[in-house]
Homo-oligomer: A and B are copies of this chain.
Amino acid sequence: MARAGLTAERLTQAGAELADKVGFDQVTLSALARLFDVKVASLYSHVTNSHDLKTRIALLALQELADRAADAVAGRAGKDALVALGNVYRDYAREHPGRYAAMHFRLDRETAIASAGVRHSQMTRAILRGYDLTEPDQTHAVRLLGSVFHGFATLELEGGFGNSSPDSQESWTRTLDALDALLRAWPAPE
Q: A-side interface residues toward B, CB under 8 Å?
A: 25, 104, 106, 136-137, 139-140, 143-144, 146-152, 154-155, 158, 160-161, 164, 166, 168, 170-171, 173-175, 177-178, 180-182, 185-187, 189-190
Contact = CB atoms under 8 A, between A and B. Distances in A.
14 contacts: A136-B170, A139-B164, A139-B171, A143-B161, A143-B175, A144-B148, A146-B151, A147-B147, A147-B151, A147-B155, A149-B151, A154-B154, A182-B182, A185-B185
B140 A175 contact: yes
B144 A171 contact: yes
A144 B178 contact: yes
Copies of this chain in the oligomer: 2
Question: Interface on chain A toward B: helix, strand, loop, or mixed SS?
Answer: helix
